[in-house]
Amino acid sequence: MSEKKTTLPEAAAADGKETKIDVVAGNAKALVEQTTEGAAQEEENPLLLKLPVPYTFEGVCYTKLDLTGVENLTAADLIRASDIVERRKNRPTMVLELDMQYLFTCASFATGLPLEFFQRLPAKDAVSVKNAVSGSFFSE
């Protein structure tokens, strides 16, 4: 069996330069390279959390949490989260961006998962969610 090599230009490379990937017929080399790039990008994004221990909520097992929706929250969402937290606590919070209940409410808005999902997380995972969401508010 002869291997036939072709190259595929990727015009939409992130750096704006044209790059080429060697594809060997009958081989998944290109797929492996693309998957590796996706994995590297996932590791770099602090809003894509990998849970060290699978977490089951309402019969669904979660191994990852995608919190990237936090980047799409609006000021109205933050005000609504603040109102919810203030009503539940019956006392003011000094710095909302550091309050776990507020950050979980924002995470709930961002993911569409219920607040109870975040409240029942193991402590270590809960702190990871808290840090990821608060970090997104303070990063540029």
The pLDDT value recorded for residue 57 is: 95
More confident residue, 93 or 114: 114
Domain extent listing, the chain: 5-43, 46-138
Q: Is the pLDDT of residue 40 over 70?
A: no
CB 73 within 8 A of CB 134: no
Average pLDDT over residues 74-78: 96
Q: How far apart are CA 91 and CA 37, in angstroms?
A: 46
**Cα(first)–Cα(last) distance of the chain, in Å?**
53
More confident residue, 120 or 39: 120
* Listed residue (139, 112, 121) closest to 49, CA to CA: 121
The pLDDT value recorded for residue 62 is: 96
Q: Which helix (H) or strand (E) holds 34?
A: helix 29-44
Q: How far apart are CA 91 and CA 87, in angstroms?
A: 8
